[in-house]
Structure 1
């Protein structure tokens, strides 16, 4: 799979986590999307998700589907916030 997982983050919630270095805030994942890789840059998300949203303000996940054969395309801890449109495109694909 050449899609990259990206997180749409909640802009209104910023909490400091003890796991984060000082000065960095952890934001709540509002929705998990999939985006095609940018042309010529296989580790970078393209400009739009599979459902058509702009990826500019989204955060690229460290989790990669190719690193977890047999697992769903998204990290299981975020299964409840997977974009249904991105998921449908991947299921058809």
Structure 2
């Protein structure tokens, strides 16, 4: 499998209050997408996710689906925010 898991993160300051986390704090994962690897690479993400979104501002996950046979393609802790379009492609 040459797909790479990428995270679409909340925009900085989107859910921040005056008492919120300091700058540089970890941002919350908004959506989990799958993207093909860039041509000629197994670790670099291609320019678009399987649902067509630009991967430029997304963060690459450490999770590799091929390293977890029998598990879902995404990290289970993010199951509630999986992109339904990427999931549909990955299930076929």
Distance in 1, matches of 2:74 and 2:2, equals 13
Which residue number corresponds to residue 29 of structure 2?
29
Who wins on radius of gyration, i.e. which is larger? 2
Q: CA RMSD in A?
A: 1.4
> Gaps (5+ residues) in structure 1?
17-22
Partner of residue 62, structure 2? 62
Structure 2 gap ranges (5+): none
Q: How many residues align?
A: 86
Point out 4+ residue stretches in structure 1 off by more than 3 angstroms. 13-16
Provide Cα deviations, 1:25-66, integer angstroms capped at 9, x if missing partner.
Answer: 200000000000000121011000000000000000011111
Question: TM-score, normalised on structure 1?
Answer: 0.86
> Residues of 1 paired with 2:45 and 2:15: CA distance?
24
Between structures 1 and 2, the one with greater strand share: 1
Partner SS, residue 10 of structure 2: strand
